[in-house]
């Protein structure tokens, strides 16, 4: 059944939910990347929790006007207004008081969320509120999703992605160098507001799928995961979008095969599983690749120190060093260097003398900072600079 769900063969409703979730996941991953790079992940938490009073007030207002209180566009408009007020409140507290941003976020988050819970409790006591089902906005509720709901989520997600593409350069610059962005005439407050508005948009359209509590994870986890795979901001944005879409696709498919399990939490758990896999196996920053690079570096250090010992005629007491030199054909079992070992040892000693001279010359201070015992001087200095250093030392007899 899982294969059928992943290939959209479980029926109209399951396909509708999966497609809507995929579009939301891509939009959340792309938008959340800038929030993560800007180091403002907690702001999304405040925005998400601030949507709840808007949902309750929108339901009450629509019911009072004789409309269907559960009409999704009306509820989303109410949540957007409430979340925007929450965002403005956070910014006002940070700019006009001595509260730090995290303290302001904590205050707004708790007050707005508490007010929303009170409103939901009041709604349940109303004659028209008994079957409101608004608690689905906390963790998401896709069981009753219709085409209009999925279309609304798709359109909202597409608009957010288009806006991210339009403003990606100023948002990237602001994320890495706010001072330079200000020097170029980019209004820091205006770009921040645009960024937060995009986050607000994703949060609002995602309420139906993952809920206000889980949307924060869908905004941040794909971005954090993508950062493990690349150092380039544009690549991280794209990878985060793909990972968010993949998590939503797999999570929605799992929910379709197990109707008693909620879609939103499964999407978040899938996103976390992708994060764990990336943390272990990502080629640039994964734990496995880091461990292998560390082992390679350690091996290189042992061989380097062993060669320096051979060049100076010192015995090698470290068993691992001797074993590595033997494996490379540089030394015999008794520690006597081979012909290849003598040549490599002479080159290592020559390179060490080069680095010693370079570290003592002020003009090579930046290059000397690269010294780790393994990096060759040719990798950090020009040929002319190396000739200048070589002129200060006499070549060893082993090198002809």
Question: pLDDT tens digits, the chain, 400 residues: what are they?
Answer: 777 778 878 777 778 888 888 888 999 999 999 989 888 888 888 888 889 899 889 988 988 888 877 788 888 899 999 999 998 898 889 888 888 888 888 888 899 999 998 988 888 887 765 555 677 777 676 666 777 777 888 888 888 889 999 988 888 888 888 777 777 777 777 888 888 888 888 888 888 777 787 888 889 999 999 999 998 889 999 999 999 999 999 988 888 888 777 888 889 999 999 999 999 999 878 999 999 999 999 999 999 999 999 998 888 888 999 999 999 999 998 888 999 999 999 989 888 888 888 888 888 888 878 887 788 888 888 888 888 888 887 655 444 3
- Supply the pTM of this predicted model: 0.80
> Hey, what are 373's tokens?
């015992």
What's the gap between Cα 83 and its chain centre? Answer: 24
> Hey, what are 127's tokens?
């004659």
All structural domains of the chain: 2-281 (1.10.3470.10), 288-390 (no CATH)
How many Å apart are CA 345 and CA 347, to the nearest integer?
Answer: 5
Closest CA to 167 of 150, 154, 181: 181
Length of the chain in residues, anyone?
400
Angle between helices 41-64 and 12-37 (to 10 degrees): 130
Measure the CA angle with vertex 242, ends 237 and 246; round to 5°.
145
Beta bridge partners of 331: 337
Query: Alpha helix (H) ranges present in 126-210?
Result: 136-139, 147-176, 178-183, 188-206
Judge contact between 207 and 51, C-beta under 8 A.
yes
Listed in sequence order, the residues at least 6 apart from 183 whose beta carbon sits closer than 8 Å to its beta carbon are: none
DSSP state of 395: P
Q: Is 139 helix (H, G, I), strand (E, B) or coil?
A: helix
Judge contact between 76 and 14, C-beta under 8 A.
no
> Hey, what are 62's tokens?
């629509």
Beta bridge partners of 337: 331
């Amino acid at each position: 059944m899982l294969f059928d769900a992943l290939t959209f063969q479980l029926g109209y409703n399951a396909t509708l939910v999966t497609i809507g979730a995929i579009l939301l996941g891509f939009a959340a991953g792309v938008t959340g990347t800038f929030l993560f790079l800007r180091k403002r992940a907690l702001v999304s938490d405040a925005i998400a929790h601030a949507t709840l009073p808007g949902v309750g007030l929108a339901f009450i207002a629509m019911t009072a006007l004789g409309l269907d209180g559960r009409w999704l566009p009306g509820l989303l408009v109410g949540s957007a207004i409430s979340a925007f007020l929450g965002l403005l409140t956070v910014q006002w507290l940070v700019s006009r008081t001595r509260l730090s941003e995290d303290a302001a976020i904590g205050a707004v988050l708790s007050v707005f969320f508490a007010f929303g819970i009170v409103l939901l409790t009041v709604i349940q006591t109303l004659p028209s509120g008994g079957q409101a089902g608004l608690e689905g906005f906390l963790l998401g509720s896709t069981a009753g999703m219709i085409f209009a709901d999925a279309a609304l989520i798709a359109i909202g997600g597409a608009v957010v992605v288009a806006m991210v593409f339009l403003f990606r350069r100023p948002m990237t610059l602001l994320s890495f160098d706010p001072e330079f962005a200000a020097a170029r005439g980019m209004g820091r407050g205006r770009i921040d507001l645009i960024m937060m508005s995009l986050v607000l948009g994703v949060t609002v359209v995602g309420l139906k799928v993952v809920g206000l509590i889980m949307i924060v994870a869908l905004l941040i986890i794909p971005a954090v995961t993508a950062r493990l795979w690349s150092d380039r901001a544009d690549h991280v944005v794209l990878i985060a979008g793909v990972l968010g879409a993949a998590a939503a696709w797999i999570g929605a498919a799992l929910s379709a095969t197990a109707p008693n399990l909620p879609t939103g939490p499964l999407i978040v758990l899938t996103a976390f599983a992708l994060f764990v896999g990336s943390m272990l196996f990502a080629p640039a920053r994964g734990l496995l690749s880091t461990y292998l690079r560390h082992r390679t570096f350690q091996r290189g250090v042992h061989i380097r120190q062993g060669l320096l010992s051979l060049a100076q005629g010192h015995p090698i007491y470290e068993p691992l060093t001797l074993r590595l030199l033997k494996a490379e054909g540089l030394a015999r079992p008794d520690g006597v260097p081979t012909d290849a070992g003598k040549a490599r040892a002479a080159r290592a000693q020559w390179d060490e003398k080069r680095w010693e001279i370079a570290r003592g010359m002020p003009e090579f201070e930046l290059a000397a900072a690269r010294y780790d015992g393994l990096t060759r001087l040719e990798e950090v200095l020009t040929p002319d600079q190396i000739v200048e250093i070589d002129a200060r030392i006499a070549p060893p007899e082993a090198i002809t």
